Structure 1
């Protein structure tokens, strides 16, 4: 009987200890849950307040300054009428017609072909003289230093004698050397033929040359057309 009472007392003590332990654990768990709930509630409130401020700032209307420019003043003053301009009568113009005599001067055109041939035009003329005379206007300046090196020089021209009577002659002339040796051409044809001299040399430097011509019979003039100097380069 005594031992039974001891066991009962020991059991009651153990039950009291376990009961106090479990109650303490439950109390701590409850406090922890309450603390977590409060922290979660504070975080949710902070997040909602922050979002509401952001939405409010983004929805705020943008204020724009509208500057009204003054409308331009309209001038109501009447435009000047045509009667306000003074009119004047101008005297009739007298046109003077002036008659001018135009003398055309032939320009020299030097032609160089791909075969290294240079043609220097001289001109055309005629004479009834039976001795060599300068043909008017048939003059050319040739500078041999511009065409170096020169292989040959030839005098050419379309020549004829009127009616085919007698014979005509033509040549180049330079005042310092006289008639250029080798430059003479001739024909007895009434129709124009191309006369070409033999090859000759020109004095070195820039010199002026004229074309001279003559005819056997003074009644029948000699004609030289399209005279030219042909220079062939090496």
Structure 2
């Protein structure tokens, strides 16, 4: 059982002979209750003896990558420290937490951009992934503030990729107190910004400079005009002669 708004609610019921996914509390406490029978009963020649579990007290929300900022669910990834890696939602591959906002900030180098490739995505939500549908969602932005370029993402999606417009990119998970899902796992990479456009600009500038350098000067125009006037005068002289 997990504490939600001052009371304990059942998060998950587990039975059978299998390993459940990791379970993480929303706060500093979690209650587990075991209901068993003794002596163990035989079912399909398998004896159910109970369970054995490992526990850990964490402050990083189960996120092992990046640099955590204080005690908040905020993690920073710098190109100067590592050019690629993995990041995921809290407690992945278990259920992420309720009522949590997790920020992932990516800082690329001067001539780099951020590429995020999601290899797993299952965030509780439907439709527009907004408050009206009581959806959890993931938000993307090229800024610290909201980026109108991107819509909110939720539901179960196939692999997809996001690219930043510049040197900074933000990924934020928003969850409410309704339902939760497994979350997401993604690979991040800081890649060089393509130079195709820059090369085209350079070629254009070079062509323009070549044209300007070979274009007739103002003195050349005066010389041409003078030659034309001389030719016209010569023609008129021959006619009148």
TM-score w.r.t. length of structure 2: 0.31
- RCO higher in structure (CA 8 A, sep ≥6): 1
